Structure 1
Amino acid sequence: MNPILYSNIIGKGKPLCILHGFLGMSDNWKTLGNQYANNGFEVHLIDQRNHGRSFWSEEFNYDLLAEDLLLYLNEKNIERTALIGHSMGGKTVMQFACSYPQKTEKLLVADIAPRFYPPHHQDIINALTQLDFDLINTRGDADEQLEKHLKNFGVRQFLLKNLYRTKNGTFGFRMNLGVLSKKMEEIGENISSSESYNGPTLFLKGSKSEYVTDADTAQIKSHFPKAQIEVIDDAGHWLHAENPDQFFEKSFRFLKQME
């Protein structure tokens, strides 16, 4: 029996599953999740494997992550769902929509394209692996250690959301850092399916982000013929956190459009 992904379910209405990015967790989407829930959706904020409160596994690739989502939907008796995925989560929902189009109502991909990205998080992995938990008694202690390697305050705060107190009172990280640091190539992989998803699709990209460029349009359209591509102003890769109002406005307009 395969383990089922952890989720936080809020609201009532049409199902909407939201998948976080690399080193993130479902809590990252709580504010926007509540907005969707207040507007007629049953929102499933999901932790992907090796992240948040979901199970740990040595195996990690997008086919498996898509299969995890399928098992989750079957467990929850969800026939079809709208999907939102950011970054790594965007790759998962793209793979899912291509592999299981019959389960996909609508697809929204946040700031990622269906191509290969070279590993580019090594500085973050290095900083996290160098943390000495014996010297960490508070979040402030952890932040102080991280600051020696990562100067960006926002990035540090994002990573520190993973910090939690273990049963023996020490601090630890919820994500499976050992496996994720070994799977950097897989995290950058393009979606493996040559199939396409022909349903309603929206790509949202940050105006200051280089993750989705004009050069990606042809590949996006080859997998997702109905894809629209829109820009979130004054936002980088973390577009949903940097401009949440516009992200909600554009995403909600897309989600509520009738077929």
Structure 2
Amino acid sequence: MNSLLTRLLPARCSTLLGAAAQRGCVRYSTRPADPELERIETVPLQATLLEGDPARTGAQDAAPIVILHGLFGSRRNNRRLAQLLNSRLGRDVYTLDLRNHGTSPRTPRHDYPAMVADVARWVRENISRTAPVLVGHSMGAKVAMALALRQPHMCSVMVAIENAPVATVPEPEFPRYIGALERLASHAELSAAQAQQALSGVEPDPDVRLFLLSLMEHYRDPASGKRRYRPRIPLQTLKDAVVRGAVAGWELSPDTHRYTGPALFIRGTQSNYIADDYLPTIGSYFPSFELRDIEGGHWINSQQPQLCADHIVDFLDRRDL
């Protein structure tokens, strides 16, 4: 298999090539293909697996959970949420790195059809028995929504945290963030304290600044011996995607794409990503959706993982899913 999974076992971490090599894999070959997705050149996504508890009743037959991160994020951002869901539900939980993020491959194309095609490929190659529960935050939520709408047989439940199936104006802070990170990389020498100070000019929240700084590698230049920064992610590719609206956009129509399965939307009460005005539109795509509120802003997946897990577990338990 092409996808490299990191299998987190009780006592140690080990790696293997594709969970499908270990289990009988449902290939989805009898399902109708999406012609556009079939034409896209995909990349093999990197993933971490928290294994379910085979001793738990029904755990082996339960749908695994696949968690998708937001822009600039990685599977590490959802580590705590994954641990909570794994512990409480006893089922397999995967966290993925989307293209151009984490340790997944870099590629010039960055838009939702490509990200959906990547995840669809990953599901075909790595998920067995039952279509997964797709959980996405922000950009990852749009990927989860689009996959459920375009390939509903690949999704048993769709959970969108902090995003809606609407096109919005690109967030102005993202290009500012990228510009600030590019400036950090241009310095011949820079300490961590100096980098923090530089980022304070574009972001007042220290937690967000730490997150932004995690996108940069602090290394010693072998030529000069000085400490400087270089990006861990393809800044220009992501900047281009943001500016042209590929991240804030939405191309599907409820006239042609609807997902009638269970759908849960979770929003932060201090965020406008799932505004009340969007609820009728959400219903046109996901007629069976439910909405849950959490006190907080856009980053509730990492700042309020316990409450996010509570809502997801309750939603699944009430439907015996």
Same fold, TM-score > 0.5, yes or no: yes
Q: State the one-letter code of the partner of 2:118.
A: D
Match of 1:228 among 281, 286, 290: 290
TM-score norm. by structure 1 comes to 0.92
Per the alignment, residue 103 of structure 1 pairs with: 154
Which residue is 2:213 aligned to? 160
Q: Does 1:11 align with 2:51?
A: yes
Q: How does 1:94-133 map to 2 (within 5 A)?
A: 94-120=145-171, 121-132=174-185
Q: Separation in 2 of the partners of 1:229 and 1:77?
A: 27
Tell me the residue number matched to 1:209. Answer: 271
Secondary structure of the residue aligned to 1:186 is coil
Larger Rg: 2
Relative to the length of structure 2, the TM-score reads 0.75
In 2 relative to 1, CA 166–96 (structure 1 residues): closer, same or farther, beyond 3 Å? farther
1:33 to 41, 61, 82: 82
What is the CA distance between 1:161 and its match in structure 2?
2.4
Q: 2: CA distance between counterparts of 1:210 and 1:132?
A: 32
Cα RMSD for the two superposed structures: 2.1
Q: Is this contact kept in 1: 2:102–2:233, CA < 8 A?
A: yes
Which residue type is aligned with residue 35 of structure 1? L
- Please list every run of 5 or more consecutive structure 1 residues that lacks an aligned counterpart in the other structure: none
Alpha-carbon distance change, 138 to 41 in structure 1, aligned in 2, over 3 angstroms:
farther
Deviations 1:127-175 (A, max 9, x none): 1222135445654443232223322212111222223357977643222
Describe the SS at the equivalent of 1:132: helix
Where structure 2 has 5 or more consecutive residues not aligned to the other structure, the ranges are 1-40, 53-58, 223-227
Alignment of 1:186 with 2:246, yes or no, is yes
State the SS of the aligned residue for 2:217. Answer: strand
Q: What amino acid sits opposite 1:25 in the alignment?
A: S
CA distance in 2, matches of 1:167, 1:80: 45
**Structure 2 residue 114 is the aligned partner of structure 1 residue 64:** yes
Give the length in aligned residue pairs: 258
How far, CA to CA, are the matches of 1:19 and 1:201 in structure 2? 16
CA distance in 1 between counterparts of 2:289 and 2:85 reads 22
Cα 1:258–1:176 change in 2 (3 A) is same
Partner of 1:245: 306
Any conservation in 2 of the 1:84–1:108 contact (CA below 8 Å)? yes
Q: 1:168 to 1:89 in 2, by over 3 A?
A: same
Deviates more, 1:125-134 or 1:74-83: 125-134
Q: Aligned partners of 1:172, 1:6: CA distance in 2, in Å?
A: 22
* Secondary structure at 1:96 match in 2: helix
Output the amino acid matched with 2:250: N
